A and B are shown apart, each in its own frame.
Chain A
Amino acid sequence: MTSLWPIILGSGWIVGAILVIFAVLVLRRFLDERSADARKKEDAKITRSYLRRVAGHPPEDKGKRWSASRRLVAVSHLQSLLRGGDRSRLMQIAEFDGLLTETLRRSHSVGVSNRVDAIRLMQRFGSEACIARLRQMMARDRSYNVRLEAAFALAATSALPPPRETMRVLAMLERAPNRLDMALLRASAPDYSDQLVLLLKDGLSERWHAQLVDAIGWSRNPSVAPLLEEAAMQSSSEIRCAALRAASKLGQPCVEEWVKAKLSDPESEVRVQAANACVALGLTSAVDALAHLRSDEHLWVRLRAEQALEQLAPDLLAITGKAA
């Protein structure tokens, strides 16, 4: 029975270690609470010193007393409240104070969460040095999640690399597209509509082709409209749906005819998308065709047509709805 000692000792040790960890965490929380007031006051002081400088006063004490990390917290918070000239002046001052250098240094740290924090700060700074570093991280960071995070930061500052590069770095083509990919492609559309159009000729899989068509709709470039019409005639229903989504986003009058024609597409999914597009484009001339779809063989088409009519011709529905 003496062989049971290891079990007692082992569990005793594990439990003891857990209790010590817990005690340390409680202590940390306790100390945090005690210093909360002092910290708040310090934050207020740092804020005031930066505000004075933004307003054009000289720095009173060079701000050397405060640690870089505390100043970073205050500045990043302050900039999230500010807009316009004050904000850019604040960021310039912060850069001058070496806070940018501190952030860039942090973007090289070993811990993933530190790097992600740095990415978020760089997104806020938004200066050229930050964009350059973000692009570097997006291309080369060893963690996929960090690369993705950098891509988001770049998308938020509309500074994504060309779509081909984005797709390669995030290994998009090796997997099925997800909603994040769609968001990134759409974010790069205004700057890179030509490249997206070129990618269409790459002979990608249907699903990816559809994503590209979808993204092109966000390019704000009216010259892509004929391409969308072409996509709407493709044999893949997924691509036809994407073309309709893109057309409703692009909002050019020249798409109206073929969008309406898609209301009689053989695929029910495409008819649903077409009804959506009619609503988005405000096509009151499609009311008759939509009314026809209310007796479609597919439930979803009927429902969607009903909803579309509610928005496009509420009066018509009130009359015929009662008669039905």
Chain B
Amino acid sequence: MAKILIADDDPILVELVRFRLEGAGYQVLEATDGQQAIEAVKTERPDLIVLDSMMPLLSGREVLLYLQKNTATKDIPVIMLTARSGESDIVSAIRSGASDYLTKPFIPQELLVRIEKLLTLVT
């Protein structure tokens, strides 16, 4: 069963993603800030990360840069969730190594499909 880490400081969004992912049979881990996210990546080795771009302590982009630096974590697919639909944010997210992105508000089904696709690409 694939392990997915959701990192976001908004408990309602975490709950929403968790509900849909667990419904689809994934194992879900959560982190409420960037530092926790990095800890969780180190100890739990998730198969995929859903990352919010705006988080306390370390922003989503900083977490991405950290993941890119380590060979062990470089290949974990990351889906960025951004509140802003600004072009520069999306470009910078992809440039820093995100595999995909979604802007809030989003369609939960779409998130599921994207996760599925990314996971099949990796394996």
A contacts B directly (C-beta below 8 A): yes
Interface positions of A (Cβ within 8 A of B): 40, 43-44, 47-48, 51-52, 55, 74, 77-87
List chain B residues, Cβ under 8 A from A82: 16, 105-108
In the complex with contacts A40-B11, A47-B12, A84-B107 CB distance below 8 A: yes
CA distance A118 to B13 in the complex (A): 23
**Total residue contacts A-B, CB cutoff 8 A:** 52
Interface check B116, CB cutoff 8 A = no
Q: Which of the residues A51, A74, A83 comes within 8 Å of B19, measured between beta carbons? A: A51
Q: Kindly identify which residue among B10, B19, B104, B108 contacts A48, using a CB–CB cutoff of 8 Å.
A: B19
Chain A residues whose CB sits within 8 angstroms of the CB of B16 once the complex forms: 47, 51, 78, 81-82
- Smallest CB-CB separation from B106: which chain A residue? A83
Partner of B104, one of A40, A43, A81, A84: A81
**Cβ A43 vs Cβ B105 within 8 A:** no
Query: How many whole Å from B85's CB to the nearest CB in chain A?
Result: 12
CA distance A74 to B15 in the complex (A): 11
Question: Quick check: B12 and A44 within 8 Å, CB to CB?
Answer: yes
Contact between A51 and B106, CB atoms less than 8 A apart: no
Instruction: Name the A residues within 8 Å of B104 (CB-CB).
Output: 80-81
Q: Which residue of B lies closest to A78 (CB)?
A: B12
B15 & A83 in contact (Cβ 8 Å cutoff):
no
Query: Across the two chains, which residue of chain B brings its CB closest to A80?
Result: B105
Residue numbers of B with Cβ under 8 A of A are: 10-16, 19-20, 23, 104-109
CB-based contact B15/A48 at 8 Å: yes
A83 and B12 within 8 A (CB): no
A selection of 21 A-B contacts at a CB cut-off of 8 Å is: A40-B11, A43-B11, A43-B12, A47-B11, A47-B15, A47-B16, A48-B15, A48-B19, A51-B16, A52-B19, A80-B104, A81-B10, A81-B104, A82-B16, A82-B106, A82-B107, A82-B108, A83-B105, A83-B107, A85-B107, A86-B109
- Bound Cα distance A186, B20 (Å): 40
Other-chain contact of B105, A52, A55, A85, A87 (Cβ < 8 Å): A87
CA–CA, A233 and B11, complex, Å: 58
The answer to whether B105 and A44 touch across the interface, beta carbons within 8 angstroms, is no
- How many angstroms between the C-alpha atoms of A79 and B106 in the bound complex? 10
Q: Apart from A55-B19, A83-B106, list 11 A-B contacts with CB within 8 A.
A: A44-B15, A51-B15, A55-B23, A77-B12, A78-B16, A81-B10, A81-B13, A82-B107, A83-B107, A86-B107, A86-B109
Q: Which residues from A are CB-within-8-Å of B10?
A: 77, 81
Measured between beta carbons, the chain A residues less than 8 angstroms from B106 are: 81-83
Of the listed residues B14, B19, B23, the one surrounded by the most CB atoms of chain A closer than 10 A to its CB is B19
**A-side contacts of B107, CB under 8 Å:** 82-86
Q: How far is the CA of A160 from the CA of B10 in the complex (A)?
A: 33
State the CA gap A86–B16 with chains docked (Å). 11
* A48-B19, A51-B19, A55-B23 given; A74·B108 CB < 8 A: no
Asked if B11 contacts A81 (CB within 8 A), the reply is: no
In the complex, how many angstroms separate the beta carbon of B83 from the nearest chain A beta carbon? Answer: 9
- CB neighbours (8 Å) of A74 from chain B are 12
Nearest CB of B to A53, in Å:
11
- Residue in A81, A84, A85 whose CB lies within 8 Å of B12: A81
- The distance from the CB of A135 to the nearest CB of chain B, in whole angstroms, is 25
| Cβ contact within 8 Å between B23 and A81 | no
CB distance from A157 to the nearest CB of B (A): 15
Q: Chain A: which residue is nearest B81 at the CB level?
A: A81
- Taking the nearest CB of chain A, how far is it from the CB of B77, in angstroms? 22
Instruction: Return B3 CB to nearest CB of chain A, in Å.
Output: 21
